Amino acid sequence: MGLIKEKFDKTMQVEGEWNIGAYRWKAPEGYLDEYVRNFKERKIIGTLCTSCGRAYVPPREICARCFTETTEKVEVSQYGEVLAFLVSPPLEKGKVVIAGIDAVQAGFLKEGERIILAMVRFEGTASSMVLPLINIEPEKVRVGMKVKAVWAEECQGKLADLVGVEPAFEVKYE
Amino acid sequence: MRRVAIIGCGQSKHGRRTDVNQAELVAEAVWAAIEDANIGPEDIEAYAVGNMQGFGGICQPDLVFADYIAAGGKAMQRVATGGTVGGSTAHLGYYEVASGMYDVVLAVSWEKHTDSAEPGATTGLLHVAFANLSYMMKIGMDMRSFAIMGLAGAAAGISAYQAAFYMARSGCRIEHFDMVAAKARRNAAKNKYAHLKWPNCTPEDIAKTEMLIWPMRFGHVCPASDGASCVIYANEDAVRRLGVKEVAWVKGVAAYADEEADQGESYQGTAVVDYSDQTGAILSAKKAYERAGIKDPRKEIDMAEIYAPFPHQELMFSERLGFFDDGTAWKAVEEGVTEIDGDFPICPSGGVNTTNAIGSSGMQRVVEAALQIMGKAEDHQVPKDVRNAVAHAWGGQVQFNTVMVLGDRPKGW
Ligand SMILES: [Zn+2]
């Protein structure tokens, strides 16, 4: 019984192309623009849920726990805590290809560098963010270590102004 | 609600299936299940079908395969809940029989990654990430940050972050991930439907594989498989009427969604601080056990098939589903508790870590749990008596979970 095929080893493949053009995603006007505009002043401004007290960074339009609009803005600390982290192997050409671009070849990432990605919670917030952790050897990173925001030399009100985080204290590792 | 049993199970061979198209792949599992139940397609009243939309590069295969699985003139509904879809489709089929709407229902789910130029990645994961990345570019993300985001994304996306969270929380080491991955490959070698088989694989073998991004090695990552899995449900009367001998009873199901982890829709923060919390899994398990009349899951449940594409997830979910205390599953792994001949076998089939045809994977957990109860798992049948088994599925932006409790007799017997 059934339609199990034993006649062919391979199905025929017919290649076709389809230019699907652009997608359009809807987002609330302005709230992220305002978030990054404050980066110019080196400020991290999140949204506050007045019904449960959670502060969201990046800002969020609704609190999913309360199902309420988060209309209040609140400035949060530049200091945070490493909750968990990832460490890349030394980067090589041909290993990091994103959307067809070799990130090392193109100079976005340096050959041989090791990137630390930290999941950081800024003090007083109820959300975690993924940010590069810099100015520290990967071997010295610890869960729970205090970090602080690192800003670009000249902030322009862009997402890229927040370069990442670095250790908040100099710690001797015995 | 009516008592419902699984009366037939079917799986296609999983792996790179260049020999079939999607319709033939789905039909392979469906006809295997119909033969297993020893019934005819005319006995099936309704079809629940599902897959991860957009991963296989063909948008609406159900339009074609309906004819291949004898769905003409019957009810058919398609489900899509990301990686969870096999679990959700299994639940839909169960609802249809439990509610009294139909007596015999077939549920099938599938994925055919190789129909897409870059399996999964381009058509699937990228279309999930693309909206967020587009926003981030609009508000001034630079190319360096974009490339850094891609580092973890290229490895295993959000699962790499989750593995790091799980380590921080539980105190387990990367060696425990190696142990779980080696166990999966050894078990898969005993399963004729599995994709990545490696007899006698050791944790040391896994430890030799390339580090993608610490703590995730190449040897921890699931393959992109092609495959389909299928179950047939019947109510108590239909089981008798059709003269089915071997069944697995559905004792309780539950599904819970949670908030997105990671930055949510359009780069907004969410209240899921730790991606390994998995509140949805905890709630699903609690409710499913309550519905199944199970009070002590570790004692009353005999084995589990957990949806774990990555080894940390087998550890994490085995805790969230109540088999081990929070942060302690790695100790059970050290003691061999979760081995095929252990006290609490987990994924004796090899699991999703060795065979991941995404849409199929959630359903395959149900199939494998049912086979263990019926004693039909052949070479990977666990030696202990299986009276109750759990099938779990997971997906979404790590926030959807489904749990099904199966037993050798219905609840209350
Ligand atoms: Zn709130």
Q: Domain limits at A143?
A: 31-167
Does A19 fall in a domain?
Answer: no
Closest CA to B48 of B231, B224, B275: B231
A156 contacts B140? CB cut-off 8 A: yes
Q: Considering only CB atoms, which chain A residues are within 8 Å of B135?
A: 25, 27, 32
Q: What angle do CA A134, A117, A58 make, to 5 degrees?
A: 100
Query: Which of A14, A47, A51, A60 should one mutate to test binding to chain B, selecting the residue with the greatest count of B CBs within 10 A?
Result: A60
Task: Could you list the beta-strand ranges (E) of B157-274.
Answer: 211-213, 216-217, 226-235, 248-257
Tell how far the Cα of A72 is from the centroid of ligand 1, in angstroms: 12
Does B80 fall in a domain?
Answer: yes
Does B369 fall in a domain?
Answer: yes
Is residue A104 classed exposed, middle or buried when 0-12, 13-18 and 19+ CB atoms within 10 A define those classes?
buried
Six-digit token string for A139: 């071997």
Q: Domain limits at B330?
A: 4-117+224-407
Q: Report the run of H or E that residue A120 belongs to, with start and end.
A: strand A116-122
Does A25 fall in a domain?
Answer: no
CA atoms within 13 A on the CB side of B186: 17
pLDDT digits (tens, 9 = 90+) for B186-205: 999 999 999 999 999 999 99
In chain B, the percentage of residues whose pLDDT exceeds 90 is 76
ipTM above 0.85, yes or no: yes
**Cis peptide leading into residue A58 (ω within 30°):** yes
**Nearest CA to CA, how far is B117 from chain A (Å)?**
10
Q: Report the run of H or E that residue B273 belongs to, with start and end.
A: none
Please say if the pLDDT value at position B272 is more than 60. yes
Tell how far the Cα of B401 is from the centroid of ligand 1, in angstroms: 23
pLDDT digits (tens, 9 = 90+) for B233-271: 999 999 999 999 999 999 999 999 988 877 666 788 889
Using CB atoms and an 8 Å cut-off, which of residues 7-26 of chain A contact chain B? 8-11, 23, 25
**Residue B37 or residue B122, greater confidence:** B37
Mean pLDDT score of chain B: 92
B131 contacts A127? CB cut-off 8 A: no
- What is the distance between the alpha carbons of residues B413 and B395, in angstroms, rounded to a whole number? 33
Does A62 fall in a domain?
Answer: yes
Q: In this structure, what CATH number is given to the domain that contains residue B321?
A: 3.40.47.10
Residues 6+ apart with CB under 8 A from B51: B61, B78, B80, B85, B109, B110, B111, B358, B359, B360
**pLDDT value for A2:** 46
Domain count, chain B: 1
Does A134 fall in a domain?
Answer: yes
**pLDDT value for B320:** 98
Least confident interval from A133-137, B65-69, B90-94? B65-69
Q: Of A27, A56, A121, which has the smallest distance from its Cβ to B135's Cβ? A: A27
Does A18 fall in a domain?
Answer: no
pTM: 0.95
Cβ count within 10 A of residue A62: 16
pLDDT digits (tens, 9 = 90+) for B350-386: 999 999 999 999 999 999 999 999 999 999 999 999 9
Six-digit token string for A152: 């670009």
Residue pair B201/B335 in contact (Cβ under 8 Å)? The answer is: no
Q: Considering only CB atoms, which chain A residues are within 8 Å of B24?
A: 3-5
Tell how far the Cα of A69 is from the centroid of ligand 1, in angstroms: 8
Does B199 fall in a domain?
Answer: no
Closest CA to B74 of B84, B82, B85, B62: B62
Which DSSP symbol is given to B99?
T
CA dist list (Å): B244 to B235, B237, B376: 11, 11, 15
In chain B, the percentage of residues whose pLDDT exceeds 70 is 94
Does A8 fall in a domain?
Answer: no
Least confident interval from A59-63, B194-198, B297-301, B385-389? A59-63
Closest CA to B340 of B383, B297, B387: B383
Domain count, chain A: 1
* 3-class DSSP assignment, residue B341: coil
Does B205 fall in a domain?
Answer: no
Tell how far the Cα of A55 is from the centroid of ligand 1, in angstroms: 9
Residues 6+ apart with CB under 8 A from A100: none
**pLDDT value for B128:** 67
